[in-house]
Amino acid sequence: MRLDKFLVECGIGSRSEVKKLISSAEITIDGCICKDNNKNIDEKNTVVEYKGRRVIYKEFRYYKLYKIDGYITATEDKKEKTVMELLPEWVNKKDLFPVGRLDKDTEGLLFFTNDGKLAHELTSPKKHVDKIYRVSLRDDIGEGEIEKLEAGVDIGGYITQPAKAEIVNSKEILLNIKEGKFHQVKKMLKAVGNEVTYLKRETFGKLTLEDMVPCEVREIERDDVI
């Protein structure tokens, strides 16, 4: 692969930006400064460094984010702040997108990748990927409402699949669902006469928040996801 293309693919900058970096002697190849944009390298074995840090080429990239309130799940929007703005500079954002969605006021685990095939596997209705939410409620909830949630409720022309619900306290539950319908959790609780006051996703498939703090991002491997 040509050096400038390699650097662009790795998220170092645009084509014009990386050419400036190369011409200003900021890129080394196997320990030697390289000023040749067209230099061909072995993207898997050649040691390319920028600011003393090795630049690693990965065809597919995987990250998890602890999303906070106030950001919409989109790659771009003219009016709203998007979750892409929560990703730090060290994350290669080229072709990256969030998988699934969290509402603007929902917090918790959000997964990003540029692996379209994996994203389809995680979001396809046929795959039934578990998602666990911590749900705070306006009113106390009892076993009767829990049984309804677990059996499936009408959220407006759609009956939800059987779910799992666990009472944490009188106004908080853990809800495990396999779908991702628009505002699904909020609509499910409304269907049993209650209202969500706070919502946080804690797991998505194999992924968990672990000990992450709000706005934290971690790079992960494909095997961590599925």
Residues belonging to the active site: 103
CA 89 – CA 50 distance, rounded (Å): 14
Q: How far is the CA of 135 from the CAs of 47, 107, 122, 188, 212, in angstroms? A: 48, 11, 22, 11, 18
Which residues have C-beta within 8 Å of that of residue 153, sequence separation ≥ 6? 159, 160, 188, 191, 192
112, two tokens: 């990003």
CA 103 – CA 3 distance, rounded (Å): 40
Please give the torsion angle defined by the CA atoms of residues 202, 74, 128 and 226, in that order, rounded to the nearest 10 degrees.
-70
Q: What is the 3-state secondary structure (H, E, C) of 70-93?
A: CCECCCCCCCCCEHHHHCCCCCCC
Which residues have C-beta within 8 Å of that of residue 156, sequence separation ≥ 6? 187
CA 126 – CA 179 distance, rounded (Å): 10
